[in-house]
Amino acid sequence: MKIKNNPQRVSFKAGLTPTIKKLAAQYSGANIEYLFKQRGVNADFKNNRAIAYCCGIVNDIFETLTNKYKLPFGAKPPSLTVYHDNDLINYADRDCLGFCLPDSARIILGKGVYEARSVFYNNERMKTLSEMDALAEAQHRSGFNSTNHFLHTIIHEWVHNIHNDLLYRVFGYDGTCPKTLQRYNTFNGVYYDPNPYVSGIEHLKRMQASRYTSQQREIIKKEISEYAAGRRVRSGSIQGGNPFELIAETITKEVVDVLDPNTLMVTQNPFYQAGKHDKKLTDLVNNAWYNIAGG
């Protein structure tokens, strides 16, 4: 998409820099919406320059990972939408910074049904790059996020979209969205599946409902994040702590670790380092990618 950064006059080692903030100000939400629509992505950033710019950068990151390093990350979300809290039909999602639809649904008041794999970002809590940077820093300091990078939320939800795409391509979609049904076949069994004829959408539901053991959670929390391991909230429910969130948090961390701090461009294959993580964690991540453990 040619959303590039000038590497000059950068003094920080990672995250948001004055140069990046200056360059981002040169882009309008409408301009980046146009670039996305040229690539088949229906983008509605509601004049939020920060989220629009970050989505453009993240698109470039995953295009590089796909084209240069031959990783299966090329799937673009069918739509990118910035929402206000009061726009949401499901008000239980009001505390989210973003989410990705596993199946088609009516999410925004007054709007039609959104296609499966559509990605949404919160306009109330991420109005500026500085606000996104501060949120990521605070959440990482508490152990909640796997990184303190201002792109964290944008990448995390993008990875959910990529993971959905993988599951639907491998196991078939079999959901309710007509447009998504045109894109994917029904179950084709091309990959080993311990639950024969379980569709991609069913795999996803099982992943979201499953929880790790206390020993597994300790490993995940130590090496990735508390959200990937699972955190109990005031309502008594668990946020994160399932294979689907482990994938999003782990890949976000691995990608951020190989970004050039001056340009935000990928410097190497993020998955080349054998032995970087505890083998038990590596096994958990590999199992979660295809849900071969069956959830």
**CB count in 10 Å sphere of residue 30:** 12
Q: Where are the alpha helices (DSSP H) in the chain?
A: 18-24, 29-38, 49-67, 129-141, 152-171, 178-183, 200-209, 214-223, 226-229, 243-257, 279-290
Question: What residues does each domain of the chain span?
Answer: 18-290
Cβ(133)–Cβ(36) below 8 Å: no
Measured CA to CA, the distance from residue 71 to residue 78 in angstroms comes to 20
| Alpha-carbon distance values, 174 to 77, 180, 190, 207 (Å) | 18, 9, 16, 16
Q: Which residue has the tokens 């990118």?
A: 80
Measured CA to CA, the distance from residue 270 to residue 268 in angstroms comes to 6
**DSSP letter, residue 177:** -
Cβ(10)–Cβ(262) below 8 Å: yes
- Provide block-wise average pLDDT over 10 residues at a time, the chain (295 residues): 46 67 88 95 95 96 96 95 89 76 93 96 93 93 93 98 93 88 71 69 90 92 92 61 93 94 90 76 91 57
Residue 278: its pLDDT value, please? 80
Residue 59: its pLDDT value, please? 97
**CB count in 10 Å sphere of residue 260:** 14
Strand pairing class (231-232; 238-239): antiparallel
Measured CA to CA, the distance from residue 72 to residue 66 in angstroms comes to 6
pTM beyond 0.75: the answer is yes
